[in-house]
Structure 1
Amino acid sequence: MLTMKTLHLICRNCRGMTNVLFQYPHTPAFLSTSCTTHSKKNKVNGYEDIDQEKYANLVRMVTSSKTNCQTPEKIFEEDSFLYGKVVKSKASSQEPEARVPQNRSLMFNSNKVILSVEKTDPSIPVRIALPARDQMASGRLPSVTRILQQTMPMEQAFYLERWKQRMIMELGEEGFIEYTAAVFSQGKLFHARLEDLLVSRDDSIQRPEDTDKMSGYLASVDHVLSDVSGLRTLESTVLHSELKYLGIVDCVAHYRGRLCIIEWKTSEKQKTHIQRTFDNPLQVAAYVGALNHDANYNFQVDCGLVVVAYKDGSPAHAHFMDPELCQYYWDKWLLRLEEYKEKKEEKQ
């Protein structure tokens, strides 16, 4: 049997012979590997011993074909003839199992003792300062922010580093340091102004430095503040008694009738979807679990809210996290917490 390479060679060398073969149908077909019939020197080749009479019909078939033998259809036919029918592997009907946390600590604390309303004053927001919460004998507890920073996904870290390098190219090293310091100061000022509004509920109160710097952000969150009521905490530390981490909650209040942990954020870009807020939902879920396991709070929370304000005054985006969504991000938070502890053990 001729090889595929041989057939291709026949195809190429015999195209010019088609008319000759049809004009003289009774002339025996023959094979030649020379490029011209007027070659000055006869070349010795490996096909001289081929039975040319035997393959005369094959030559006629190849040379009389009206289609190119290299079309995809012909190639598939030849492959099927030589190697058999192609059997496609069946796609796996089961998706790879998602990673689940080893420590399935519950976000809601069913064992928490809730004091009676008579022994508490819900009208006074709870404020617990961070220095008073150092309950570890050997050192400080890790914060939620620190854990998220040290377990940041590689893709997210890559884009953050690329943004940082681009800013350094534009502003220089010192300029970038000044820029980050200004952003931090602006965030603190924004939170302080929000506290005044939430406590007093009087929009007429203004600080001198608010006039130019905060007017856009405050106008941005105005429609959200109208849905916030029943303030329970402000800038207060929460500590998870079992998982041993802490964080500072911006605010706990009712949003449209649902008690939520609220995080106020600022951004230069629109964050129309909660996925664009990166680790902010994980942060909120971590605070929800910590507050529910902290004996200093006479209530529990199962909802969250991420509010993103904009400097130009455009309406802020309020991303509400219902109990189901909070649970989803709580599981993701537990994975990040486990990763942080594993890295810490490797360094020791």
Structure 2
Amino acid sequence: MADFFRGRRLRNTAALRALVSENLVTAQDLIMPYFIVDTDDSTFRKEIPSMPGQFQLSLDEFEKQLAEAVAAGLRSIILFGIPKCKDATGSEGYADDGIVQRAVRLAKSRHPELVVITDVCLCEYTDHGHCGILQKINDDVTVANDSTLELLQRVAISHAKAGADIVAPSDMMDGRVQALREALDAEGFVNLPIMSYAVKYASAFYGPFRDAAESTPQSGDRKSYQMDPANSREALREAAADVLEEADFLMVKPAGAYLDIIRMLRDGFDLPLAAYQVSGEYSIIMAAAQNGWIDLDAVTMESLIAIKRAGADLIITYFAEDVIKRGLVR
């Protein structure tokens, strides 16, 4: 009799492999991002060149696309807005009739059961492309942390009043979760959850997103407030701070190059954990598939399984709509 391990016994058939599969990605796990443009052209639908298959959408086009996705089984979305006008304080980001606020009302009126998450930040709305109010210290221009918190509170409250199910601050200002919690509670939104971009790295993988959201900084970069990709222990400090400030979800962004960070947070905290498979991750896979170098379906699902295996409960991904519509997840 052989004295070696026969692991292949459990790989013999597709049914056996499914029976012992340790991780599963379902439609319930996936969150689809949408870019909504404030435009008078109701038919506006512009493909994002660096993100094949993804579009900037008018409200009407968003309504049509969302209806198809929900009918196919999509259950959660996250919204990003592109305003008509930008200014130094990103005032369109907290306007009651802002583009995200209108998109939330539309989505919830058409699909009450849909989980609608809103990105709480200012970079899409400021004329300088940074995530808050700029200040000059000596010869350096940087984002003013505490005064930015006041504007983020206004953004979150406006999203809550529009009907958002979850607000998700992505700015990486210190103390933002506490500031949002206090403001939401004061306005009566005690039960509105906060999904914190707790661990958001200053990543090169964001390039295509900045095309999509038209949020490229006009000068400088975001390294003074987003995290250094070389650091991992810092991720635990950031997450721990957000837990103390009453975050309801934690998030790691990006996902694919930061699976170790996802695992660290999963092992260290018991809150629901999201991971954002960002624009650059999406575009790399799409570009390779379009060149015939990889199998798009297989690589897409393998990348999602890897994120789930690392410990994420939820995945924000630009593949969400497609994999649900084509039955790759159920």
TM range (shorter): under 0.3
The structure richer in strand per residue is 2
- Taking structure 1 as the reference length, what is the TM-score of the superposition? 0.22
